[in-house]
Structure 1
């Protein structure tokens, strides 16, 4: 088995729009199924070989599909992605507050959906240029060039942006009432506007942010202590952590670790594809 992961720091003009990026190539794997887990970023994947084979989407009403390039919105249930023992591509993690500028639509329009990238961008240029490139730097540059030229105006309401910032900064620990109070809105109004912009309600976003931090910590720890992990990442106790993990992934933390190690979606740590995909 061979595995190559190439992390990439997004171009400065894309800061706040693209959180991180990675190139990946794996060969000689046993065919299997990868779980695309909930994440606080949208997932953009351009494959370099086989199409991305999504057997089950976060929205169960969406039919399975195969994608040369996929864009996945924020979600709270896993996607199931089949692979034939090899996979290669470029993945970019897009911030939900940057979706309007990069994609022309709010992230809320893509909530729990996986869609063909060209249907959103209105062109196959990004896919064609990434696939035509021969090196990782050239692939990243091609993707970024298309996104930079596509970027327009339009930012979310300052209150929504601040609510998102507070949710991230607190690791999902702030209560919705506290977030609403800090931005000067009622909980009801915040929930309506926040969901329309990001695709998640504030409470759901807090769950996803808290889970994402715990997932990254678990993937980086050879012998994890779940009670300590729960305490460090904002869960009431180990039982709470396990319940949330089952709800968001379909597996217990240790079963997920055993099933997914080597196919982890953490692009910041450069370990592989598929956040929302």
Structure 2
């Protein structure tokens, strides 16, 4: 039997959009057991499973042992995680902004760092309510509405440094030519001060934010059903050349992009069959 992916993406309530990029519901079944890679990205990750726990034998933090979670949260990282599966996965992923980490969890993204934690540790009893209610529903729009409701009850707007926000937007944004020194000059800080403030808030350095944003651009292009030439992907994502992209992929994904494309099955089925819903 060929694997089947059914899911939906949704935007949060407008009041949550400074804190939440979006929701991704997924139901994957009929695949052969295996592993896939949890990639670094510019969003913090929350996963709520609907059926069986998610199995992460290799954490994104080098010092953390693997584990199984019904619900998890993880910060920004430059390390991949390995997710094992038995051919079936069902749940919702919530992509948080760094500002959302403060507003929903009451802590900077740096406090999570690369660690994977149980969602109840940072969201409290609302995490249990969230999973129980999602499991009782059968449609993605209904589930996304419940997430909106619970997060709106939890969210607490916090003061946010305008210069630091601008630095994050530039360094993690779509411009592949951005340079850390230029961003420091633009906001009127020294490069050292920017590095200290940035790392203390986000848990990664300004240089790593640029690397992860560039990697995420290439990852998105490589998930296209028809693979563009790797040299074109490298240029569009902002790498010097294809060899530069391959080196960065070995560090951030654990393998070069061509190998990942050969091994990874889930994203392409999901991307082709996902329907937009909610929001």
Q: TM-score range by the shorter chain?
A: over 0.9
Aligned to 1:229: 233
Cα-to-partner distance string for 1:64-101 (whole Å, 9 max, x where unaligned): 11110111111101001111110000111111122111
Does the CA-based 8 Å contact 2:4-2:269 persist in structure 1? no
The match for 1:143 among 144, 147, 161 is 147
Q: How does 1:1-277 map to 2 (within 5 A)?
A: 1-123=3-125, 124-220=128-224, 222-263=226-267, 270=274
Does the CA-based 8 Å contact 1:173-1:234 persist in structure 2? yes
CA displacement at 1:170 relative to structure 2: 4.3
The 1:220/1:32 distance shift into structure 2, 3 A limit, reads: same
Task: Give the whole-Å Cα distance in 2 for the aligned partners of 1:210 and 1:173.
Answer: 10
Cα-to-partner distance string for 1:111-170 (whole Å, 9 max, x where unaligned): 101111011012122222222323222211111211111100213311110001112334
Task: Give the whole-Å Cα distance in 2 for the aligned partners of 1:85 and 1:265.
Answer: 13
Normalised by the size of structure 2, how large is the TM-score?
0.91
Cα-to-partner distance string for 1:189-244 (whole Å, 9 max, x where unaligned): 11111111111110000000000011101111523211111111111111101101
Task: Give the whole-Å Cα distance in 1 for the aligned partners of 2:4 and 2:237.
Answer: 33
> Cα RMSD over matched residues?
1.9
Does the CA-based 8 Å contact 1:36-1:79 persist in structure 2? yes
Q: Comparing 169-178 with 79-88, which one deviates more in the overlay?
A: 169-178
SS of aligned partner of 2:267: coil
- What runs of 5+ residues in structure 1 fail to find an aligned partner? 272-277
Normalised by the size of structure 1, how large is the TM-score?
0.92
Does the CA-based 8 Å contact 1:34-1:263 persist in structure 2? no
The 1:264/1:46 distance shift into structure 2, 3 A limit, reads: farther
The 1:228/1:188 distance shift into structure 2, 3 A limit, reads: same
Does the CA-based 8 Å contact 2:23-2:95 persist in structure 1? yes
